[in-house]
Each structure stands twice: as C-alpha cells, then as structure tokens.
Amino acid sequence: MKKILVTGGLGFIGSHICVSLIEQNYSICIIDSLINSEEDNLLSIKKICNLSNNFPKDRITFFKGDIKDKRFLMNIFEKAVDEQKPIEAVIHLAGLKSVNESIEEPLTYWETNVVGTINLLEAMQNYNCKNIVFSSSATIYKPILNELVTENSDLGPISPYGTTKLTIEKILEDLSKSQQNDLKIINLRYFNPVGAHFSGLLGENPKGRPNNLFPILLKVASGEYEKLSIFGADWPTRDGTCIRDYIHVMDLAEAHISALNFILNSSSIFINLNIGTGNGKSVLEVVETFKKVNKCQFEYSYVSRRNGDIPYLVADNRLALSTLHWRPQRNLNDMCIDAWRWKIRSKSKFT
Ligand SMILES: NC(=O)c1ccc[n+]([C@@H]2O[C@H](COP(=O)([O-])OP(=O)(O)OC[C@H]3O[C@@H](n4cnc5c(N)ncnc54)[C@H](O)[C@@H]3O)[C@@H](O)[C@H]2O)c1
C-alpha cells in the first residue's frame, strides 16, 4: 500500500481527497495546522471510510503542524523512512486562499504559500520523494472575457494570492528542469470547487467570515446571514453578474486520484492542467438553482463590485480530460443539493 502525504488534508478540498485516497487503497499521512479547519474532519473521514477502531494504524495518520516549520516536515519524512514506509508522493494543498485577505496581508501569504512550499520541496528532496500534485488556481490567469482559458492562455494574476500560486508553479518548473531531479509534477489549476461529500459529513466550513459564494449562500439560506450581497450587477456578462466554472469537490478529488495514478506510472514529467467543467454559471444562475433544488427562499441585493473580482473565468478542460482519463460527473444541481445537505447536517450537530 503506497503512502501519500496530504498537506492541508483536513481542509475543505483535502478532506474529500483523503476519502477518495482511502477508498482507492492508499495509506495517507495528513499534515494540517488547523488554521482553517477542524480536527473533527479526521473523524468524519474515518466514518465515511468505515475505518473502525481496530483498522491498521498506518491507513491514516495525522500530524498537527505548520509547513513553515521545516524541521517538522523533515521529521515526518524521516519517520516514514524509519518505519520502512517512505512517502511516495505528496498532494500539496496546505496554504492560505483568500484573495481579499492576500491584498491586505501579502507577506503572510508569501510566507505561508511560497516559503512553506520551499520547505516541503526541500524535505522531499532530502528524502528522495519525487512525486507531487500541487493545488494551483485559475487565479493565475490574466482575465479574458467570454473565452475559455487553456493552459497556454496568458498568465497575469491580479492578487497576491494568485501571484504566490504562480510563483510556486515557477519554482516547480525550475526544479523539474534541474539536472539532478527526475521529478514528476502536476499542477492542477482548480477553478471553483464547491459542494460537499454525499454523506453530508464533510463540506466547506471556513473559519472567519467566508469570501466565496457557496459558504455565504449556505449562511444566508440557513438564516445565519440576513441576505446575500451580490457584488456587481453591471459586469459585461449575460445577466450582469460574474460567471465562474463551478466544479463539485468530489469530481475534483477524483481528478487528484487520476493525477496521482498518472504520475506514479509515468517517468519524469511536468504538466499544468485546468480542473473545471468547461461550463460557466453566473452568480444569479447559481442562486436560482440553489433555491429551486433545495426549495428554499432568501433575499439578495446588489452591491458594488468587489476588489480583485473579474467578470468571467471558465476552463478549457480538454487537456485534463485526455491526460487523466477523468471526467466531471456531477452538475450544478448536485453541487447545490450536496452543499445544502452538509449545511443542514453540520448545523444540527452544533445546535
Ligand atoms: N477552494 C478554492 O476555491 C480553491 C481554488 C483554487 C485553489 N485552491 C487551493 O487548494 C488548496 C486547498 O483549498 P481549500 O479550499 O481546501 O482550503 P482550506 O483552507 O479549507 O484548506 C487548506 C488547509 O491547509 C491548512 N493550512 C493552511 N496553512 C497551513 C500551514 N502553514 N501549514 C499546515 N497547514 C496549513 C488549513 O488549516 C486547511 O485545513 C489551497 O492551497 C488553495 O489555495 C482552492
């Protein structure tokens, strides 16, 4: 059984990936500082995967710690080697992800995302781990209107968050070109991951005030927030609201399994792949779909445009489809239904 290190593995996307990895018979080692997640997610992963109390301990191990701490990372790789179960590959999700916060606190973003990744890559190099799937982002692209972005579209992030992601991609590219490394690297450029695990046990629960549409929508629909503010009604799109490429988090998790299997079975490679559905939906379309499929009512109003937003961002995902032999299976209805199921279930847990 191959051992995979998942950094940020208790976060929104990481926890869903962990479920898929266990279901695919990988042994996983999770690192998370819990700065934006809860240790409860570990219990939910075990519950979904039916890992009872007497499961083999190395199916899933969790280390609380920070990727900014190089010694901590080295120790994890060393421990795995000592136990003769070295880490074969890393899925690297740990990092900070708020576009708005990154504009206010750029140094925090550079230190966590870039320095943290360099620490991880040094630990990998030290312990001869050559496979990495990196969580990159569609925010690295230069905004273009009404055209799908391909992996070769112009790059030009407009936030410090996006710049840190692009910088990490560049570091990985440099590493892949260096003589002594026969690394296998996939940058998965996520578009807009939403939804939740079908069980309702895992979903998106960011600490602090959420910035993304779905977590805000869930708070409005559940009555925690009075109404939804839509940022801008005058964008140059079909209904004046921003258009994004929403992808179900379980489709994204499955893309990671395909990416991992791909690099574990290939020789040295460096590749960027867009992970989206290729299908753009406006904020208004999401709101109307959410209300309809979940039979709920709430108010919304338009407010002025938000700093850092762009009108249109949709993937050309053909390279990912052909490279990974993967295909998104779930539509916007599923994303809305699963997210709402998670919200109802998690709300009843805490009240
Ligand atoms: N959710 C999105 O819309 C989206 C889109 C594109 C890319 N991404 C990237 O995917 C990754 C995961 O995103 P997510 O939505 O699951 O976010 P998340 O915040 O839910 O998960 C990130 C996890 O990393 C942990 N973490 C943060 N800093 C850390 C550190 N220094 N050391 C150890 N752990 C740390 C957090 O506690 C959290 O559990 C991030 O790198 C993000 O930039 C996310």
What sign has the CA pseudo-torsion 301, 305, 307, 312?
A: positive
Q: How confident is residue 327, by pLDDT bands cut at 50, 70 and 90?
A: very high
Whole-number Å distance, alpha carbon 116 to ligand 1 midpoint, is: 12
Q: Of the residues 35, 67, 165, which should be mutated to test ligand 1's pocket, given the most ligand atoms within 8 Å of the CB? A: 35
pLDDT at 53: 64
Residue 179, Cβ density class (10 Å: 0-12 exposed, 13-18 middle, ≥19 buried): exposed
Q: Tens digits of per-residue pLDDT, 206-243?
A: 888 888 999 999 999 999 999 999 999 999 999 999 99
pLDDT at 307: 79
| Selected residue with higher pLDDT from 90 and 350 | 90
pLDDT at 146: 84
Phi, psi of 104 (to 5 degrees): -80, -35
Instruction: Report the distance separating Cα 349 and Cα 125, nearest Å.
Output: 43
**Would you state the structure tokens that stand for residue 263, as one six-digit string?**
């690099």
% of the chain surpassing 90 pLDDT:
89
Mean pLDDT for the stretch of residues 16-35:
97
Burial 98-112 (b: 16+ CB within 10 A, else e): bbebbeeeeeebbeb
Mean pLDDT for the stretch of residues 132-160:
95
Instruction: Report the distance separating Cα 42 and Cα 58, nearest Å.
Output: 14
Is the model's pLDDT at 339 over the cut of 80? yes
Torsion from C-alpha of 16, 22, 24, 28, nearest 10 degrees: 100
Q: Could you identify the atom of ligand 1 that is nearest to the CA of residue 41?
A: 39
Residue type, position 67, single letter = I
Task: Indicate which residue's Cα is closest to atom 12 of ligand 1.
Answer: 93
Which of the residues are catalytic? 161
Whole-number Å distance, alpha carbon 59 to ligand 1 midpoint, is: 22
Is the model's pLDDT at 111 over the cut of 90? yes
Q: Which residues line ligand 1 (CB under 6 A)?
A: 8, 10-14, 31-37, 66-68, 93-97, 112, 116, 135, 137, 190, 192-193
pLDDT at 217: 96
Mean pLDDT for the stretch of residues 343-347:
88
Is the model's pLDDT at 351 over the cut of 60? no
Instruction: Report the distance separating Cα 294 and Cα 214, nearest Å.
Output: 14
Instruction: Report the distance separating Cα 297 and Cα 148, nearest Å.
Output: 33
Q: Tens digits of per-residue pLDDT, 272-321?
A: 999 999 999 999 999 999 999 999 999 999 999 987 789 999 999 999 99
Is the model's pLDDT at 171 over the cut of 80? yes
pLDDT at 50: 85
pLDDT at 205: 87
Residue type, position 295, single letter = K
pLDDT at 203: 96
All structural domains of the chain: 3-194+248-276+315-329 (3.40.50.720)
Whole-number Å distance, alpha carbon 345 to ligand 1 midpoint, is: 23
Instruction: Report the distance separating Cα 87 and Cα 92, nearest Å.
Output: 13
Mean pLDDT for the stretch of residues 171-193:
92
Mean pLDDT for the stretch of residues 2-24:
97
Task: Indicate which residue's Cα is closest to atom 41 of ligand 1.
Answer: 93
Q: Tens digits of per-residue pLDDT, 40-79?
A: 999 999 999 987 666 777 799 999 999 999 999 999 999 9
Q: Of the residues 15, 33, 70, 194, which should be mutated to test ligand 1's pocket, given the most ligand atoms within 8 Å of the CB? A: 33
Mean pLDDT for the stretch of residues 235-252:
97
Phi-psi region of 325 (alpha: psi -120 to 50; beta: other; left: phi over 0): left
Average pLDDT of the chain, as a whole number: 95
Task: Indicate which residue's Cα is closest to atom 18 of ligand 1.
Answer: 11
Whole-number Å distance, alpha carbon 263 to ligand 1 midpoint, is: 22
Q: How confident is residue 349, by pLDDT bands cut at 50, 70 and 90?
A: low
